[in-house]
Chains A and B, each alone.
Chain A
């Protein structure tokens, strides 16, 4: 069972949800061997109906306390460009496609997607270019993501607040 997981974090990203369940996207996913699509839609107003057939299953929900399980089971993650969603997916070593929401202020999320793409960790696109990317991407070219180092922060903070012995 090959599954794709779509997440929009705590936001609303109707365009992505609509794009992913559109016929052409579903056909592409099926042709790539995916037979399960899990959609985490957050605050969105577009709510596709979950369904299950012999060849394909669609699960739709708004939130879960933790996305760990769905991320763990996914063979592909399609995510909005929020830091939490991206980092959690990359840290689990999942192939990640980031879809940038063109309606957000200054589109700051695009900066992160662009940088991580530059470093070879993910692919990014917009809703309109998602189907094309899904068809053409080569997931084997993605590089492993080294986790951040919060211990550098604690060492710095301990020093400047006077805790360091």
Chain B
């Protein structure tokens, strides 16, 4: 009985160590691979988050295609904005180059911290299969709660040796002096963490500062 427990503890330790090693391998600085095109997964969130992310996506060339968007299932406003953005972008008679996916919302505005943990785990149940199925080259997000389970799923894909997904996080223009909750979580897990104000660049020297980009 005791030896079984020791064996189980040893196995658990090995698994955890392996995961830590894999995580370190996945999040260390990237070696840039040259390519002609890539598939982004874009996380849109409520209100301004979607407006900001669409401005960023609007600046990207046609090489970023097909564009997959993921939104919270209760977010019809974002769905409309994305459809209208993509419609304006698609040339007449060309096949649509985008796809919209929905997952349960991970956190409502003003939701308590504790219940947010459970709802985020619930979202992971849906976001991991989605990310596994799409295997995007890049995840682009800017802070809504929805992005945490998506980014964690993308990281898992790397940890499990399935695919290395580049995670790019752009902190909202609203964040001048402090990071959002998603930002604090994803600062260490993203490949590129972009801030839009000098005060944040000073506080987080490893972040990327390009000025105001939305």
Contact = CB atoms under 8 A, between A and B. Distances in A.
Do A and B pair up? The answer is yes
A83 B52 contact: yes
A112 B173 contact: yes
Contacts of B208: 156
Contacts of A135: none
Contact of A84 (B38, B48, B213): B48
A28 B32 CA distance: 59
Given A84-B47, A112-B174, A154 B59 contact: yes
Contacts of B175: 108, 111-112
B30 interface: yes
Interface string A81-111: 1111101100000000000000111101101
Interface residues of B, number: 49
Interface stretch (A18-26, A122-130, A157-165): A157-165
A159 B84 CA distance: 28
B197 A162 contact: no
A85 B166 CA distance: 30
Interface residues of A, number: 37
Contacts of B55: 148, 150
Given A87-B173, A151-B59, A163 B38 contact: yes
Contact of B176 (A87, A114, A160): A114
B47 A11 contact: yes
B11 interface: no
Tell me whether chain A's interface is mostly helix, strand or loop, or mixed. Answer: helix
Nearest to B142: A83
A10 interface: yes
Contact of A149 (B35, B178, B211): B211
Contact of A111 (B59, B170, B174): B174
A106 B178 contact: yes
Contacts of B37: 163
Interface string B141-162: 0000000000000000000000
Interface in B34-53: 34-38, 46-48, 51-52
Nearest to B78: A10
A9 to B, nearest CB: 5
A161 B46 contact: no
Given A150-B55, A157-B60, A162 B35 contact: yes
A153 interface: yes
A103 B109 CA distance: 11
A37 B46 CA distance: 26
B213 A150 contact: yes
Contacts of A153: 56, 59, 170, 194, 210, 213
A7 B69 CA distance: 27
Nearest to A85: B48
Q: Which 4 A-B pairs have the closest CB atoms?
A: A150-B59, A84-B48, A10-B47, A84-B51
Interface of A: 9-11, 63, 65, 81-85, 87-88, 103-106, 108-109, 111-112, 114-115, 148-154, 156-163
Given A84-B47, A162-B33, 10 more contacts: A10-B46, A83-B52, A83-B173, A105-B109, A112-B174, A148-B212, A150-B213, A156-B208, A156-B210, A161-B137
17 contacts: A10-B46, A63-B77, A104-B109, A105-B110, A108-B178, A111-B176, A112-B176, A148-B196, A148-B212, A150-B213, A152-B213, A153-B213, A154-B60, A158-B63, A159-B32, A160-B191, A162-B34
